[in-house]
A and B are shown apart, each in its own frame.
Chain A
Amino acid sequence: MSIDGLSRRNFLAGLGGVGAAAILGGCATSASTGTGQAGGAVTLQSNLSAPLPKAAMESVVAAFNQKGGAQAVLNTVAAETFRTQLPSYLTSGNPPDLYTWYAGSVGRSYAKKGLLLDLSDVWSGLTDYSAATRTLSGDDAGKQIIVPITYYWWGMFYRKSNFEKWGVRPPTTWDEFLAVCEALRAKGVEPIGMGAGGTTPWVASAWFDYLNIRINGAVYHRELLAGRHRFDDPQVKAVFAKWKEVLPHFDKSATAIPFQDATTSLLQGRTGMMLIGTFFADAAPKDALDDIDFFQFPIIDPKVPIAEEGPTDGFFASAKTPRGAEVKEFLKYLATAEAQELFIKNSAGTVLPVNPKAKDSGTPLVAKGRKMLNDAAEITQFFNRDSSDALQPTADAALLQFFAQPDQVDSILATWQAAAEKVWSS
């Protein structure tokens, strides 16, 4: 009996403890302060969940750990989960130390709220990094918040053998591009694949980005995304007017399948070409990669300085980390040519290292991509990276509606502007 009573009392005490923990944890809206313990391994929260980049990240972490200094632990999370959880990670009492993230506007809102570690002293050692990269990795207050390690490019990808078979050549101007579309259509091929269905509606934003930077220029584009212009401006309407010219040439399942399936369609020759980032190669078979080439998004107005999308990936750290020195040691390693070459060797090899001393995979495709970005007067990142993850869904809704109801552009853009205003004002 006494044993029963004791265990019951313990049980109740345990419940009381749970309740007390609930009270403390229940204050979800109050800002909690970090009391994590110093020492121990640096935890790296990674959203590189596709098999190839994940393996590449694992190899880099293993190489760092073998150096015998600070240690790091990799924790890979699915990209969608990572994105929705990131605010929770950063505001929790004992957050992970280091995170994969993107350079550009998309990280700065966290910096503004004081959640990110100042990495300026890591950057003082990164003398090889370009000035543009340095600006891109800073916050609005002039602090460095992110250490980028790789970047990649977007382009109109196609299969060389298929273009040969169909007797078409990569176009450079808009008119040539329309002619290629007509020619492919005549051969019974769907000219343009997209893959903005399923879980990847954001792929459609690449078309918006490119048309906007080709017609209105990168400066206008960035200002638009920052809320300094309106989505129902005549400039934006001009973008959609141009888009309408090619709309009939899009694959009819362009908005019905995710980009991975659209990649399969492209490789199997059901579609002719696709505007996509080099990450699509992660899912492509190795032998098909040798047959893949790309051309630059056609020039529409030669007077507009040429801009290209060159999204830059890297890492930022929580301001609450008790392991600041270890985090910076790891970041310094990640910024070395050695680490970036190791990462590229173990991935699909279609990304470019940010460190100018690091060698890329050296394939003709990568050399061509690197040259295109080097020749560009301006580099944009991508719709969400140049604005915020909160603005991306407003673009997804507007662009998919444009595909379904291209005659409703005016009302679509008015709705988009209203939705965007809510995001900007919140």
Chain B
Amino acid sequence: MVTLTAPPVERPPTSGNRRRNKPNRRVSPLLIAFVLVPLAVEAFWVFWPAIQGVYLSFTNWDGISPPTGVGFDNYVEMAGDPVFGKALLDTVIWLVLFGGVSAVGGLGAAMFLQRERRGVGIYRAALFTPVVFSLVATSLIWQSMYQPDGLINTVLGGLGLEGWQRSWLSESDTALYAVILPALWRQIGYVMVLYLAGLKGIDPVLYEAATVDGASRWQQFTRITLPQLRSVNAVVLSVIVIDSLRSFDVVWSLTKGGPFHSSELLSTYMYATAFQSLRLGYASALAVVIFLLAFGVIVTYLVRAFQESDS
């Protein structure tokens, strides 16, 4: 964001410079090809299916017969669909919990591990390692820990907390939170790396000046670190919102949105509607809603960020 508003460089209007700045009207065909070919490929592989998805959301389609147009029926149905309501609520909970905790946790871990100390690399690597693992493989491990006879209940039993033992994934009160945990376990490391990079980019002189002025640690954090991290925040927010809304693998491999929709997210509901119920029209409408949500949140933030940096 900062670089976009860099002040124009003043140039002395010398005759020599003007001749050199004369725009070169002829653009190499190679350059055009480099722009157009990827655009064409992108259009065929991304935009075209996306547009088809929007089209399908106005149809009734079972994946076999030709789709039949139904106008806005799918969206009307969505408004009265209790499972959609539950999935939307769960997605909001997911966004707040998963997004909030991973942002705060990632920033905390980055602040904690930013200074070069002996062995700090090991800790950074340890926090980052979950990002490297496939989430499905991760889920399988967590699944065995969550089993009625799994590690978590065994440890609780060993501590004398038998009353706390649960079938974590199959009880409607705990399923959603039991699924968020493995996702967080992975996401915190990822967000930490983003913030570490951001923290490295802050000029140390700012802290020196603040220390000379007698600013406390907290003041340094709120007045220097956070404002300086604004551009990273935009990236982190986008990553978190997109990751939240497309969170699917971990939920699907742990609970499939169950039991009875208690850990249902919009993404899992969309998949189940499309490929279990074979209602691809309604599933496409769900996909459009997910897209609008992600797009809406991110655009709102970017517009605000631009406005702030313009003023």
* B5 proximal to A (CB < 8 A): no
Assess whether B52 is interfacial by the CB under 8 Å rule: yes
20 contacts between A and B (CB under 8 A): A26-B52, A29-B56, A29-B61, A29-B67, A31-B66, A84-B276, A197-B167, A253-B148, A255-B167, A256-B147, A256-B169, A257-B147, A390-B277, A397-B259, A397-B260, A400-B260, A419-B83, A422-B77, A422-B277, A426-B60
Q: Which residues between 160 and 183 of chain B lie within 8 Å of chain A, taking CB atoms?
A: 167, 169-172
Tell me if B261 is interfacial: C-beta within 8 Å of chain A. Answer: yes
Among B40, B64, B77, B258, the residue within 8 A (CB) of A87 is: B64
| B82 partner, pick from A30, A389, A398, A415, beta carbons under 8 A | A415
Q: Does A363 contact B (CB under 8 A)?
A: no
Q: Which residues 66-91 of A have a CB within 8 angstroms of B?
A: 84, 87-88, 90-91
Chain B 270-290 interface 0/1 with A at a Cβ cutoff of 8 Å (1 = within): 001001111100100000000
Q: Which residues of B contact A88 (CB under 8 A)?
A: 63
CB distance from B201 to the nearest CB of A (A): 37
Question: Does residue B41 face the partner (Cβ distance < 8 Å to A)?
Answer: yes
Q: Is residue B33 contacting chain A, with contact meaning CB distance below 8 A?
A: yes
Please tell me the size bucket of the interface on A: 35 or more
Contacts of B278 in A (CB 8 A): 87, 389-390, 426
Closest residue of chain A to B37, judged by CB? A15
A93 at the interface (CB under 8 A from B): no
Whether a CB of chain B sits under 8 angstroms from the CB of A423 is yes
**Chain A residue with minimal CB distance to B48?**
A26
| Alpha-carbon separation in the docked complex, A392 to B277 (Å) | 9
Q: What sequence of 0s and 1s flags, for each residue 57-84 of chain B, a beta carbon within 8 Å of any chain A beta carbon?
A: 0001111111100000000010000110
Interface hits, A29-61 → B, CB 8 Å: 29-31
Asked whether A115 lies within 8 Å of B64 as measured between CB atoms, the reply is yes
Alpha-carbon distance A83/B276, docked complex (angstroms): 9
A257 and B40: CB pair below 8 A?
no
Interchain CB contact under 8 A, B41 and A29? no
CB of B100 within 8 Å of the partner chain: no
In the complex, whether A12 has a CB less than 8 A from a CB of chain B is yes
For A401, the chain B residues whose CB sits under 8 A away are 172, 259-260
Asked if B157 is an interface residue, CB under 8 A from chain A, the answer is no
A131 interface residue per 8 A CB criterion: no
Interface status of B121 (Cβ within 8 A of chain A): no
**Cα–Cα, bound, A22→B43 (Å):** 10
Chain A's closest residue to B44 (CB) is A22
**Cα A397 to Cα B172 with chains together (Å):** 11
Residues 253-267 of B, flagged 1 when their CB comes within 8 A of A and 0 if not, give 000101111000000
B108 sits at the interface (CB 8 A)? no
Interface residue A369 (Cβ < 8 Å from any Cβ of B): no
Beta-carbon contacts under 8 Å, B103-140 to A: none
> With A19-B41, A91-B63 as given contacts, are A404 and B172 in contact (CB-CB < 8 Å)?
yes
A28 close to chain B: CB less than 8 A: yes
Q: How far is the CA of A390 from the CA of B273 in the complex (A)?
A: 9
Return chain A residues, CB-CB under 8 Å to B60: 426
Judged by a CB distance under 8 angstroms, whether B227 is at the interface is: no
Are B61 and A253 interface neighbours, CB within 8 A?
Answer: no
B49 located at the interface, meaning its Cβ lies under 8 Å from any Cβ of chain A in the complex:
yes
Is there contact, CB below 8 Å, between A113 and B64? Answer: yes
Among B49, B62, B147, B258, which residue has its beta carbon within 8 angstroms of that of A201? B258
A12 touches B37 (CB 8 A): yes
B218 within 8 A of A: no
Using CB atoms, name the residue of chain B closest to A423: B277
Sample of 16 further A-B pairs with CB below 8 A, known A28-B52, A91-B64, A422-B279? A15-B40, A19-B41, A22-B41, A26-B48, A29-B67, A87-B63, A91-B63, A197-B167, A201-B256, A255-B167, A256-B147, A261-B147, A389-B278, A400-B260, A401-B172, A404-B259
User: Provided the pairs A28-B52, A91-B63, A389-B276 are in contact, do residues A257 and B260 lie with their beta carbons within 8 angstroms?
Assistant: no
Choose one: A22, A198, A261, A398; the contact of B260 (CB below 8 Å).
A398
A390 to B279, CA, bound (A): 9
Complex contact B171–A426 (CB within 8 A): no
Q: Is the beta-carbon distance between B172 and A22 smaller than 8 angstroms?
A: no
Task: Indicate whether A396 reaches chain B with its CB closer than 8 angstroms.
Answer: yes
In the complex the two chains form, is A426's CB within 8 Å of B63's CB?
Answer: no
Q: Give A379 Cβ to nearest chain B Cβ, in Å.
A: 26
Q: Is A393 engaged at the interface, CB distance under 8 Å to the other chain?
A: yes
Q: Which A residue sits closest to B277, measured CB to CB? A: A390
A115 to B279, CA, bound (A): 18
- In the assembled complex, the Cα of A392 lies from the Cα of B37 at a distance in Å of 45
A256 touches B64 (CB 8 A): no
CA distance A257 to B66 in the complex (A): 40
